[in-house]
Amino acid sequence: MSFSDQKPFTVTAEHITASWCGRRAAKGATTHPLFRCSWCGHRFAVGDVARWVFTNVSGEETEGVHGNPFICSACDGPRPEILAKLRATRAEFEADRFWWFRRNSRETNEAVSEALIEEQRAARDAYDDGYDRGRRDASDGREP
């Protein structure tokens, strides 16, 4: 079941019953809920033509592109077009209007955590500054 050559292949029952994203299809299923075209969402069935596009490699060509998508024959095209579409889709997903869907992603949680940590540091520093200023004022005999 090699598809890593990035050439179109005909989907077999073996592809359908494989584990995709850590999940297997239900017994006797003719499609897998996670084995789909990354563009149109078509669930691949036995006999469909699909292609896997390797994108998780560093370099200028794949800058801003992630995911190693499967693409159906209707959505397939030359690699530069596929990468351009991936880049545009990724940029659209990162737009503010999709914040709800990203809220539980690792990247979003890390960014939110960093922002909260910075806010807490700033609040603590402001408190410490006020506390220190109050102590200095008290040492001068003035009320804080």
DSSP one-letter string for 85-141: HHHHHHHHHTSGGGHHHHTTSHHHHHHHHHHHHHHHHHHHHHHHHHHHHHHHHHHTT
Residues 3-26 have a mean pLDDT of 80
Is the full-model pTM beyond 0.75? no
Residues 101-110 have a mean pLDDT of 65
Confidence (pLDDT) at 10: 93
For the segment 85-104, what is each residue's pLDDT rounded down to a tens digit? 888 887 887 788 877 777 66
Q: What angle do CA 100, 60, 36 make, to 5 degrees?
A: 45
